[in-house]
């Protein structure tokens, strides 16, 4: 697991990043920094914690507005996943979460 130092609203953070995920992490940092800067520049909120919560809510709202993802293979052809396929998918997700969380158990 690689560690990257990034800056959000003028404050540095050391974040764990899976190999090959650097560009996605940098894009996410830029989006969060931009959102928090816009809230700060509006002048109504002074506390960083409140800016972070408002930025998270704004970004989550935009994400929720997006159209739903295309149906999964099982839903598309009405063929249910086998137990083996389902287990493989779940184990893959668990491995990705473990890799993202790293040793400290914290996403960011």
pTM above 0.85, yes or no: no
Q: If residue 16 lies in a helix (H) or strand (E), which one and from where to where?
A: strand 11-17
Structural domains of the chain sorted by starting position, each given as residue range(s) with its CATH number in brackets: 1-66 (3.30.160.880), 70-108 (no CATH)
- For the stretch 16-35, pLDDT in tens is 999 999 999 999 999 999 99
- pLDDT tens for the 108 residues of the chain, in order: 899 999 999 999 999 999 999 999 999 999 999 999 999 999 988 899 999 999 999 999 888 888 776 555 544 556 676 778 777 777 777 777 666 656 555 444
How open is the CA angle 61-20-25, to the nearest 5 degrees? Answer: 30
Q: How far apart are CA 32 and CA 101, in angstroms?
A: 19
């Amino acid at each position: 697991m690689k560690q990257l130092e990034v800056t959000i609203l003028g404050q540095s953070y050391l974040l764990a990043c899976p190999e090959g995920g650097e560009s996605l992490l940098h894009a996410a940092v830029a989006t969060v920094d931009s959102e928090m800067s816009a809230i700060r520049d509006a002048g109504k909120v002074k506390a960083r914690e409140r800016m972070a919560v408002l930025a998270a809510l704004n970004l989550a709202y935009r994400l929720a507005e997006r159209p739903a993802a295309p149906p999964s293979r099982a839903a598309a052809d009405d063929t249910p996943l086998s137990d083996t396929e389902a287990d493989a998918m779940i184990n893959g997700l668990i491995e990705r979460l473990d890799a993202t969380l790293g040793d400290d158990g914290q996403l960011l």
